[in-house]
Structure 1
Amino acid sequence: MASGTELTHAAPTAGEYIAHHLTFLNNSGEMQANLIDFGLYNVDTLFYSIVLGLLTVFLLHRAAAKATSGVPGRFQAAVEILVEMVADQAKGMIHSEESRRFVAPLALTVFIWIFFMNAMDLLPVDLLPRIWEGVYSAAGHDPHHAYMRVVPTADINATMGMSIAVLLLCLYYNVKIKGAGGWFHELISAPFGNHILLAPFNFAMNVIEFLAKTVSHGMRLFGNMFAGELIFMLIALMGGAWTGMNAPSILLAAGHFVAGLSWAIFHILVITLQAFIFMMLTLVYIGQAHDGH
């Protein structure tokens, strides 16, 4: 007869199942104990984001290498549509042609990269974690400590890292376009006016604005993808409640199929929209760095 511990491992509760799926594979190999620990990094987030980033660069490079002046194929046509969309958006927000030569390709790369990272949410919840569990077990480790999360954008470290990178670009273009002196003058003279007594308030307001834009930029993407990932887990629990050919199990299995299919179809819109919003806000914030108050 199986022991109590074995039964617990074989059939985790709903809370244990979700907690396990929400735990990142970090460099310590254990669950993160503290809310903030700068000594840890999430290996799964880094792995999937780097692999998908390389895939993005490869696809764009292939599209550029195979581009022809004749009738384009489906792949080339799809990439050209994306390029034109991003170029039009960049042209309306960033008036410097020199800046657009860098920012527009960056925005296109960001859109496709985030779309791929978001799309990992469409894979079956247990597919890659189960494969990793088998690999982990074969290596002689406890399979119940085989943590893995496959959606990089459901990790706040990834989304905030990207939003901080956008902030650094904004600071760079503020200095490049306006000069260090001109930008500093703007920081202390807007939005309340160019008066020495108002300088501390102007400076504080501008710092708060930069911080608020950066935090909201990263948190928006993280919040939407984390919520989507959690809903998929809750739907998976419906299918995992099967106990045999009885009415409750059949109804839960049917609900699992219908809810899973419906949410997956709707989530295609979510992952695309969130990638587009992050790209657009990137263009908006960099465009604002080119404008004076």
Structure 2
Amino acid sequence: MSTEAGGLTSSEYISHHITNWAVSLDGSKGGFMTVNVDSIVMGWITAAILVVLGMWLGRRLTAGAPSGVQNFMESVVEFVENSVKDSFPGRNSLVAPLALTVFAWIFLMNITKLLPIDLIPKIAHMLGAPYWRTTATTDLNTTLGIALTIFILVIYTNIKVKGVGFFKEFLYHPFGKYLMPFNIIMKAIEEIAKPLSLALRLFGNMFAGELVFLLIALFPFYMQFIPGVLWSGFELLVVVLQAFVFMILTIVYLAMASTEEEH
């Protein structure tokens, strides 16, 4: 929900709110060295919240029957552990903490879209930022960065577990040794599709939800409440679901990389 667009046309208002505060490190406009400052800062802020919350809970852990935030967080941890047990073969000390971090961090970044849509941008504007997007996951650079990190870990796990066998998959599958060029192309597409699907799915859902909030914000003030509340309830489900899907696919990709079986 939002305050009125005030002074801007509908297209100007939407355009302003979907524009990142971009700063070029090499002086070029829109070049490779352009950084979306708002996405980075919001990612850091949500990560800091996650770290501080973890430290705060760690110092206040109680045995027996926990209550409040500890009870909720223990339920989340148990849920993630069960998801790992259901999807990942064997034991790996990295997978469960990674899955929990991915789920919690993406959830926190996603949930910021339920804040009043003009609140953070107006504060940022008063501090000198011409543009500010509150939800980091509405920026494809953010979702692609997380997905590529997972992709690098998956490739590392493939090489660690399968060794030379991983590279043989590029040569001999799925069509056999007589069609190696086609095998390389198909395998490369298969691997590249993993981070792209992770990044685009999360970005697309978050960006679409943001656009609907912006359209609601263009309604007269007295007409914003009911559609805003209804859409917020729906988006809360999407926020949780997208964090869950990203986590599950991370576990599945690592599980595929950790098995000796050829796919």
| 2:211 is the counterpart of 1:230 | yes
Give structure 1 regions of 4+ aligned residues with deviation exceeding 6 angstroms.
none
**Which residue among 111, 117, 129 is the counterpart of 1:119?**
111
In structure 2, relative to structure 1, the CA distance for the partners of 1:230 and 1:107 (3 Å cut) is: same
Give the CA RMSD over aligned residues. Answer: 1.9
Higher relative contact order, chain-length normalized (CA < 8 Å, sep 6+): 2
Give the conservation status (yes or no) of the 8 Å contact 2:42–2:134: yes
User: Which blocks of at least 5 consecutive residues in structure 2 are unaligned?
Assistant: none
Aligned pair partner of 2:182 in 201, 215, 230: 201
Q: Give 1:75's aligned amino acid.
A: V
Identity %: 42
Task: Give SS of 1:150's match.
Answer: coil
Partner of 1:104: 96
Aligned partners of 1:28, 1:121: CA distance in 2, in Å?
A: 26
Which of 277, 280, 291 is the matching residue for 2:248? 280
Kindly indicate whether the alpha-carbon contact (under 8 Å) linking 1:57 and 1:109 is maintained by their aligned counterparts in 2.
Answer: no
Residues 1:265 and 2:207 aligned together: no
Following superposition, the deviation at residue 216 of structure 1 comes to 1.1
Equivalent residues in 2 for 1:1-293, closer than 5 Å = 11-28=7-24, 34=30, 37-97=31-91, 99=92, 101-136=93-128, 146-179=130-163, 181-193=164-176, 195=177, 197-239=178-220, 253-254=222-223, 256-291=224-259, 292-293=261-262
CA distance in 1, matches of 2:35, 2:148: 17
Secondary structure of 1:27's partner?
Answer: strand
Once the two structures are superposed, what CA deviation does each residue of 1:112-165 show, in whole Å capped at 9, x if it has no partner? Answer: 1111100110011111111122222xxxxxxxx721111000000000001111
Shift of 1:288: 0.9
The TM-score with structure 2 as length reference comes to 0.91
Partner of 1:247: none
How big is the shift at 1:65? 3.6
Unaligned stretches of 5+ residues in structure 1:
1-8, 137-144, 241-252
The structure with more radius of gyration = 1
Q: Structure 1-normalised TM-score?
A: 0.82
Aligned residues: 255
Whether contact under 8 Å (2:109, 2:137) holds in the other structure is yes
